[in-house]
A and B are shown apart, each in its own frame.
Chain A
Amino acid sequence: MLAFISRRMAAAVAMLLVIGTIIFSLLIIVPGDPAELLLSTGGGSASAEAIANLRVNMGLDKPVLTQYVTFLYNTARLDFGTSIVDNGSISSVIALRLPRTLEIIIAGTIFALLLAIPAGTAAGLRAGGKFDITASAINALLTSIPGFVLGTLFIFFFAQVLGWLPAGGYVAFATNPMQHLQMLVLPALTVGLHLATIVFRMTRASVLEMRGHDWVRTAVAKGLRRKRVVRRHILYNALGPIITVVGLQLGILLGSTVLVEFIYNWPGLSGLLVSAVEQRDYPTVRAVILTVAAIFIGINLVIDILSSLLDPRIRLQ
């Protein structure tokens, strides 16, 4: 087990290294001078002085290898350098905004799992039944609504038409817990519903598949109560594939959070990212993306370990 975990951790670190390298080399393979490119706005180009300043600031004047090593070293220390725009420390901005993004994601994930796993199980157990047909149809519709459209429609109905919830904004939990939670509802719901459609689909398919296995027939033949057969011999087996898919989908979830935060004016990582992209603040963009990729890899590491706990076959191979 320990060997398994250390092997997976080594793989995760290697993966981070590769991603760091790719992001770094993007700047190298860009045709022309990256500093000039980043400072160009529309058609006009920046002054030679500004370009030279940026080159020194980003270390672009040094040999490529030195740049690479410095980049890796600094990244490993979680030092992402300074923003081109306001020279502020990128790391501290990320430290401030990351928890807010994680809050939406965690709330959304919990909502999705609570909704989709029971619904998917019920649909899978009686595939072709009334509940399955209804739930699957709703699911098909929801799958077709992109996150930002869903968010926009939610604001329209819940905030504008019904006036139940605020249209967006952010208040720290410490300042006003109630208001904070109210503002959290719609973003979390938007992110969560999207994930829920995927989890529902996967749970249903997985339950349907597990239900047909020989060991389920054995369990029924043993005379186990139906509830126990479902819980121990169908759902428990289906859980592994479900969490693996959730892990992979979290990448897409992290992405859709960008749009959702933007819609609801939630000051998480995305606001930072979007404004950085608009201002072509490459160091900030790079830092945010590295952070998100690291979170994604970290989550999948945890999921790998979880599924090995669920399924001895993964441990034993």
Chain B
Amino acid sequence: MMSVRNFHKRMILPSLFLAALIIIPFAAPLITADDPVKIAVRYRLAAPDLEHWLGRDEFGRDRLARVLYGGQVSLTVAFVATTIACIIGTFFGLVGAYFRGPSEFVTSRLSDIVLCFPPILLALLVVTLFGPGSVTLVAVLSVLYFPTFARITFSEALRVTSLDFVEASRALGTPSYRIVLGTVLPNIAGPLSVQYSLTAAAAITIESGLSFLGLGVVPPAPSWGQMIRGARQFMNQDPLGIMIPCAALVLTIFAINFFCDRLRDTLDPKGASGSSMDEVSKPKAQADAPTIKDPDVVAVINKLRLETAHFGTPAVIEDVSLILRANQCTALVGESGSGKSLSSLALMGLLPGAIRQVGGTLQLRRKSDEVVDLGFLDARTLEDIRGNDIAMIFQEPMTSLNPIHKISDQMIEAITAHRPMSRSDARAHAIALLKRVGMNDAERRIDSYPDQMSGGMRQRVMIGMALSCEPRLLIADEPTTALDVTIQAEIIELLQTLRQDQGNGLSLLFISHNLGVVADIADRVAVMYSGLIVEEGPAAQILRDPHHPYTRALIESMPSSHEELNSARGDRLPAISGTPPLPSARPSGCTFRDRCPIALPACADIRPALYPSADGERAVRCLRAPEAPAGVMNHQTEAA
């Protein structure tokens, strides 16, 4: 979200620029005493001198005066017409969007029709009938542009009206006119003001174009278009004559466009300049990577630390270490913003451009049994690894497949990217995969488009595609969160079956916020809170007997943990207070301490390490856990 201050700062320059170019023409009497229409043929095409800074035109008229007064005419015509168009158009658009019905039809059809006429042609048509002149121009331009305003207002208002907060106003019984003026209009003011500037620029272009043809502003009244028309014949002898009105015209339009671009950027930061980076940031090479000896280990994340690309910002991920083994499902659990998805994206080499790896290593055992450090690989090798040695499925099955390619094409390209196979072989392989993930009638349905499938089916396609090259590691990032509960159960079951069937001992990294799902599928669990792993170990142990107060709170907060409680009987859920901190507002010491029911003063001083249990099976990041070493305990009792 762009701050208000930043907004103002970015708008200062374009606003000043625009204001200057609008005000200067209207200050003409202060700048020059000359009459823009007084002819002095004796001085025709005179060069600039001290009294006539810009020289004189083909009739000996003072050019400075003509440029300034011409600007008055052009700007007045353009802004009056745009304002009229804006008011009428906004009115029609709002009525159409809020009340729908026939007014909606009129609004959208009307603009379709007017948009069919090239604007300048419609202007010419009217000029034929009514003759040239400023008033005709204003009338034509208003008629020409109000449908565009109506259309934009209509679609924007329709978008805003469907938002919950407008529905809330209706539910409150706020009168319609107050909803439209007080809630809808302020929320569409941004796009409208952008359109206003665009239209003003277009109106100036058309006005000057018509005047250039001699069909706009009636001579001798000055206008920029006319000046260019007049100077054209003397282009050779007198280049200045043509440059001056051209420059005035271009500068003015540029000022409006510049203002409009900035306005659009600041109103919609994502659409404009976007992230200044490429879409993926590269893993970092670290020399001190430990060597992997255990042949069962498929991937190791060691002391991963991620920061946003802005200098001096706090780490989004402070310290994450994970060992992923063959034939094992490791669940990464946490609430939104805990950093669980980023950790897995790092392992794919898919971190968003705005995030940077500043510490730690990411190692992977390839299918050839070669262990690689992702930080030392070039982009090409990373491409070879993705989808082949390590695959991923995502949360949103509805958007994770490209809507304009057939399922068959998307699966085949995944296969042929890593396997030298003919298209027909790849297609047969894809059909076999779809059958394996439980799609009936796979031969026919492989040729459908994603939009013809339900969410559950699309997630099956994603799973089939991920398994197409028999990867050693499959990352599933909230794969069932967007699905209905019965479909979720089917997908979890499918993942379980596939894991058992996969010959090479597939390792599964399962990311979820839902402990119930995790209990169903995971062998090991790592719980994340605010960029740190706070507890890690065998799933059964951790979920039955959590040692970290946060893990305990997560389990206790779930209504399904309390089947005996009912609010009707006055029962309350055991909830913890507060919200997870933003990376920039983490408390000192233990990041959980301000929400922790058992925090001690010592928790504010020490950021606990991940203390391993005696058998090395589990670890917990809490001073009060049984795993915490004696030294820390001493410190803690002293402080108490």
Contact = CB atoms under 8 A, between A and B. Distances in A.
Q: Do A and B come from one complex?
A: yes
Interface of A: 15, 18-19, 22-23, 26-27, 30, 34, 37-38, 125-129, 140-141, 143-149, 152-153, 155-156, 160, 205, 208-209, 211-226, 228, 232-233, 236-237, 240, 248, 251-256, 258-259, 262, 273-274, 276-278, 280-282, 285-286, 288-289, 292-293, 296-297, 310-313, 316
B404 A313 contact: yes
Contact of B120 (A34, A256, A280, A293): A256
Contacts of A205: 271
Given A127-B275, A237-B404, 13 more contacts: A125-B278, A127-B274, A128-B275, A143-B257, A146-B249, A152-B232, A156-B235, A156-B239, A248-B115, A253-B118, A281-B128, A285-B124, A311-B404
B118 A254 contact: yes
A225 B118 contact: no
Contact of B250 (A149, A220, A223, A248): A149
B279 A216 contact: yes
Given A15-B116, A310-B404, A316-B449, A277 B215 contact: yes
B273 A127 contact: yes
23 contacts: A30-B130, A127-B274, A147-B209, A149-B246, A153-B242, A153-B246, A156-B242, A221-B348, A221-B350, A223-B383, A224-B417, A225-B417, A232-B402, A236-B404, A248-B115, A258-B213, A273-B124, A276-B128, A277-B127, A285-B128, A293-B117, A313-B404, A316-B449
Nearest to A280: B128
A273 to B, nearest CB: 6
Contact of A218 (B250, B400, B452): B400
Given A26-B129, A221-B392, A254-B121, A149 B404 contact: no
A144 B253 contact: yes
Contacts of A281: 128
A128 B309 CA distance: 14
Given A156-B239, A223-B417, A248-B115, A144 B257 contact: yes
B387 interface: yes
A251 B202 CA distance: 13
Secondary structure call for the B interface? helix
B401 interface: yes
B451 interface: yes
Contacts of B279: 211-212, 216, 220
Nearest to A23: B125
B91 interface: no
Contacts of B112: 15
B13 interface: no
A313 B450 CA distance: 10
Nearest to A41: B131
Nearest to A317: B451
B116 A258 contact: no
A127 B269 CA distance: 13
B95 interface: no
A279 to B, nearest CB: 9
Contact of A258 (B121, B201, B254): B121
Interface in B394-408: 394, 396, 399-405
A223 B121 contact: no
Given A127-B273, A259-B213, A215 B400 contact: yes
B212 interface: yes
Contacts of B261: 140
Given A140-B257, A143-B257, A225-B383, A220 B350 contact: yes
Interface of B: 112-113, 115-122, 124-130, 201, 205, 208-209, 212-215, 225, 228, 232, 235-236, 239, 242, 246, 249-251, 253-254, 257-258, 261, 271, 273-280, 348, 350, 379, 383-388, 391-392, 394, 396, 399-405, 413-414, 417-418, 449, 451-452, 462, 465
Contacts of A256: 120, 209
B250 A144 contact: yes
Contacts of A248: 115
Given A126-B278, A160-B235, A254-B118, A22 B113 contact: yes
Given A140-B254, A251-B116, A289-B117, A146 B383 contact: no
A255 B392 contact: no
A222 B119 contact: no
A217 B276 CA distance: 18
A289 B273 contact: no
Contacts of B273: 127-128
Contacts of A140: 254, 257-258, 261
Of the candidates A15, A145, A215, A240, the one having the most CB atoms from chain B within 10 angstroms of its own CB is A215
Q: Which 6 A-B pairs have the closest CB atoms?
A: A128-B276, A223-B387, A255-B118, A144-B254, A223-B386, A255-B120
Contacts of B400: 214-215, 217-218
Contacts of B214: 278
Given A126-B278, A152-B242, A217 B404 contact: no
Most buried by A among B249, B257, B402, B414: B402
A262 B213 contact: yes
A147 to B, nearest CB: 8
B113 A18 contact: yes
Contact of A145 (B113, B250, B384, B403): B250
A37 B225 CA distance: 27
A226 B465 CA distance: 19
Contact of B462 (A144, A218, A258, A311): A218
A79 to B, nearest CB: 20
B116 A296 contact: yes
A278 B215 CA distance: 8
Nearest to A296: B116
Contacts of B127: 277
Nearest to B247: A149
A285 to B, nearest CB: 5
A50 to B, nearest CB: 18
Given A128-B277, A222-B465, A251-B116, A217 B402 contact: no
B634 to A, nearest CB: 48
A38 B449 CA distance: 58
A316 B246 contact: no
B452 A316 contact: yes
Contacts of A277: 124, 127-128, 215
A304 B127 CA distance: 33
A25 B194 CA distance: 34
Contacts of A255: 118-121
B601 to A, nearest CB: 45
A228 B235 CA distance: 51
A259 B274 contact: no
Contacts of A18: 113
B429 to A, nearest CB: 14
B488 to A, nearest CB: 19
Contacts of A220: 279-280, 350, 386
Nearest to A293: B116
A174 to B, nearest CB: 30
Nearest to A315: B449
A223 B246 contact: no
Contacts of B452: 316
Contacts of A160: 235-236
B589 to A, nearest CB: 37
Contacts of A215: 399-403
Contact of B117 (A127, A221, A224, A251): A251
A286 B121 CA distance: 10
Contacts of B392: 221
Contacts of A285: 124-125, 128
A237 B399 CA distance: 13
Contact of A313 (B117, B232, B418, B451): B451
Nearest to B231: A152
A279 B113 CA distance: 27
A240 B253 CA distance: 29
Contacts of A258: 118, 120-121, 124, 213
Nearest to B225: A148
Given A19-B113, A251-B117, A277-B128, A222 B215 contact: no
